[in-house]
Amino acid sequence: MGMKIALAGNPNCGKTTLFNALTGASQHVGNWPGVTVEKKEGKLRGHGDVIIQDLPGVYSLSPYTLEEVVTRDYLVTEQPDAILNIIDASNLERNLYLTTQLMELGLPVVIALNMMDVVRRQGGSIQSSALSQALGVPVVEISALKGENCVEAALEAVRAAKSRQAAKPVTFGKDIEHALEQIGTQVSGHCQPSHNRWYAVKLFERDARTELPLGQMAKDTIEAYIKTVEDAQDDDAESIITNARYECAAKLAHAAGREGKVHKLTGSDKIDQIVTNRWLGFPIFVGVMFLVYYLSISTVGTMMTDWVNDVLFGEIIPPAVEGWLAAAATPEWLNGLVLDGIVAGVGSVLGFLPQMMVLFLCLAFLEDCGYMARIAFLMDRIFRRFGLSGKSFIPMLIGTGCGVPGIMASRTIENQRDRRMTVITTTFIPCSAKLPVIALIAGALFGGAWWVGPSAYFVGVAAIICSGIILKKTRLFAGDPAPFVMELPAYHWPSLKGVLRHMWERAFAFIKKAGTVIFLAVTLIWFLQTFNFRLEMVEQNESILASIGNVLAPIFAPLGWGDWRAAVAAISGLIAKENVVGTLGVLFGFAEVAEDGVEIWGTMQQVFTPVAAYSFLVFNLLCAPCFAAIGAVRRELGGKWTLIAVGYQCLLAYVVSLCIYQFGALLTGAASFGVGTVAAIIILVVFLYLLFRPQPKAEAKLRRAAVKA
């Protein structure tokens, strides 16, 4: 068993950045809490016997949130060999509050003083030697972002672990210390000697998660000492310890120096006065996301995608592969599998990789500079009116890369009802797997129209808001939204290396998926569209897939795309959303069209009208996510709620797409008034009723009672 060094600290202090620097891992780094919701492990580079553990960022070890529970349970029960406490030097006093708790665990502690460049820029100075002397533990100045002194801090923690010299806890006032000493005698023998101080403090605070097999007499004695201090200080025990910790943190910070001119508005404060402004904030957010999708879908990304689709997968790869197959004299079925199945299917998906990389680059820049955290704060104002909080938007931000970590990030939401609703609605925000669908519809059927990409994003936001309103008026989800408190990190210019690494991580995950899941899926699609039930090679319209698709097609006909190929593509998206494009690539003859010199995807215009194409796009954006994301929902909520989530997502996708096509076709003259239009009107009326109906009386009474209490 190797030596274990745990990284502990506040959110946004640089823990995960330090973890990546020490281990060479690529854990996602974000400027908001909730990015790390589980313990991550990696070996220290060059020291295979040293394991570095990245714990969720916490402000305290008094567990109110999931992150605090995960971090505290690990530190108390599993006990690493040493703790490397990362401190944001620009917020020294606040960070030292957690340090005072870590030093009570009976473990060696080393301080890594991060972000010293920010302190100097603000005109401050911190003497690490003075802080080390005041705390009695080693202090190392580092820059996790630049990789400066990171290894030195880790090696200092290794030396501390080898010495087995536990950190000496800070001391409080005389009356508190007297009570803690007496409580310590009561817990002695019921816990490890090194944990005596920890349990004494927790019992003094009446911590609900602290359990020791104490007799009733011991409990009464402990309660008497607590009451004595409470009466003397005219305050409750938890507040007494909290205030004492802050006093210690303030003294330690003062002894170490000054943090800078915090009384003046910083550059970040001045920017926030604009981008988080009550009236300007949301229009700026809309403009930023419009620009992101415009660059990705309509301009820079499109230019590169056109070359990949038309040249690389149009004029270079298919003819070359066909030549190799001809030279090898391969049988007809193998030629079809390779050209019409693998090259057409996988190539159609990879063709949109350039647009995805531009999107990933833009999102990585916004995350690293600190703007994404402001979006969560901004959306809290909007979401709160509709029954959600800004904390629900954080999983949705994370879900722009992949829905699975977005769903997992919902663990940070304490309110169970809000958490369930967040899990159900998180995948409405377009993830990377849905971008090829957006790009395909925008490019092939809307001529690269600038508005298609941004509108897809805001359709997802609108679906979340409407779902929040409707679901909050039901018994399953009723209740006030959870409070949302969030630290806004200072803006900074992202490092080119960090932005490119984030972009490549997501792009590589997409490429890997194309080479595995999508490869297998398009191979299966080719087989089903090439053979009939007697395993004879037949025309596409006589194939197994056509037989299945013709059964499904009537279900989607009211949505405007009753062609069996479109129906099969939509169903294949349940495996992986990229399969929608891959399946269309196989069924519409990607390789053949390219070989004939006709514009790729042009044949799709024969099946989709513009209104039907947008209906198809919205259905695939809102419908149940891929199998991996559904599996994540099941792990988080269980089987029953997974069925509810998938059912709600599919139903919402269907009715919204139905309304879009029926009303859109009526307005554009693509279809006349009919049964579908009547159904759309009924659905719209019911939807508006659910949206604007008053709060149920029972819930209104509960809320009034809560206010009176």
Annotated binding site for GTP: 9-16, 34-38, 54-57, 114-117
Instruction: Judge whether 11 and 58 are in contact, CB under 8 Å.
Output: yes
Helix, strand, coil fractions of the chain, as percent rounded to 5: 65, 5, 30
Tokens 């790009």 belong to: 439
Instruction: Judge whether 630 and 413 are in contact, CB under 8 Å.
Output: no
Binding-site positions: 9-16, 20-21, 23-24, 34-38, 54-57, 114-117
Q: Crossing angle, helix 416-426 and helix 452-472, to 10 degrees?
A: 150
- Which conformational region is residue 504 in: left (phi greater than 0), alpha (psi within -120 to 50 degrees), or beta? alpha
Give CA–CA dist 55/70, Å, rounded: 8
Give start and end residues of each alpha helix (H) in 257-299: 267-275, 281-293
Tokens 């910790």 belong to: 245
Instruction: Judge whether 148 and 163 are in contact, CB under 8 Å.
Output: no
Binding-site positions for Mg(2+): 20-21, 23-24
Measured CA angle at 584 (ends 580, 586), to 5 deg? 120
Chain-centre distance of CA 221, in angstroms? 47
Measured CA angle at 486 (ends 485, 492), to 5 deg? 165
Residue 328 burial by CB count (10 A; 0-12/13-18/19+): exposed, middle or buried? exposed
Residues across the chain:
709
Chain-centre distance of CA 80, in angstroms? 28
Rounded to the nearest 5°, which phi and psi values hold at 123? 85, 15
Measured CA angle at 393 (ends 60, 297), to 5 deg? 135
Give CA–CA dist 149/151, Å, rounded: 6
Tokens 């000697």 belong to: 193
The token pair that represents 537 in the structure block? 């090679």
What residues have CB less than 8 Å from 310, skipping those under 6 apart? 594, 599, 600
Sign of CA dihedral 171, 174, 175, 181: positive
Cα maximum dimension of the chain:
94
> Which residues are paired to 50 by β-bridges?
3
